[in-house]
Amino acid sequence: MIYLGLAALALVVAALVFSDGGDRLGGVIEPDQLASLAWTGTILILVVAGFWRQFTARLGANLRALLAWALIGLALVIGYSERDRIQGVSTRVLGAVRPGTAIPGTGGLVTIVRRADGDFRVDAEINGQVQPFLFDTGASSVVLTAENAAALALTPAASAFTARVSTANGITYAAPVQLDSLSVGTITERRVNAMVAKPGALAVNLLGQTFLTRLSSYEVRGDRLMLSPP
């Protein structure tokens, strides 16, 4: 490569020496421009030749490193172009490994996987804080345990526990409250009416009808709970 560069440089020098002093060599390029190109090309050839010599000195190892970087670059390009699909797959895997996690789908659909005990436990966000819920179509309202309500700074007075609430486990008394927001996955509802159960009356929060009736639909398909946004 060096010899080819020197030969090309020699040809340029010869062309400059034997030029007739015209403004352009062959009517194409000016002598100063040709000299500048020759100098730049010579430097470039020397640099490339130096790198090439080092590269060929350990050809096998360098080729493997070059291939590894090419594969990394290809993986990054594929990962970026398919990022939405990869995110969807990872979310579904997380939902299967950790039942209760909301799995977003097309059209705003949210899917929740049934737990091994047969219940649908739903991780919902209330006023910005994540709380576990039991999906309960028999509950006439969203119901919070007294302990979870206290964690949300909802502490009704003892005299407020006057409302009868129907749950799958029977009748309990609760105090009415209003939640600023209740989110399950990508579904968010504002100003949701709810109840705070009397201390010791419930062991888990209930995702009941004051939230479920706001949805366009909800249904159970096998071990999947499907929630459709309003």
pLDDT of 155-199, one tens digit each? 998 889 888 876 666 777 899 999 999 999 899 999 999 999 888
Q: Which residues pair with 178 in a beta bridge?
A: 193
Task: Say what the pLDDT of residue 40 is.
Answer: 74
pLDDT band at residue 15 under the 50/70/90 scheme: low
Structure tokens given for 112: 């929740």
pLDDT band at residue 60 under the 50/70/90 scheme: confident
Coil, helix or strand at residue 93: helix
Lowest average pLDDT, out of 25-39, 59-73, 162-176, goes to 25-39
Distance CA 150, CA 129 (A): 12
Cβ(174)–Cβ(196) below 8 Å: yes
Mean residue pLDDT across the chain = 77
pTM of the model as a whole:
0.57
The count of other CB atoms within 10 Å of the CB of residue 131 is: 20
Q: Which residues pair with 80 in a beta bridge?
A: none
Cβ(202)–Cβ(133) below 8 Å: no
* Strands (DSSP E) found in 65-109: 103-104
Distance CA 130, CA 184 (A): 10
Tell me the Cα Rg of the chain. 36
Residue type present at position 63:
L
Residue type present at position 105:
G
Lowest average pLDDT, out of 92-96, 126-130, 140-144, 177-181, goes to 92-96
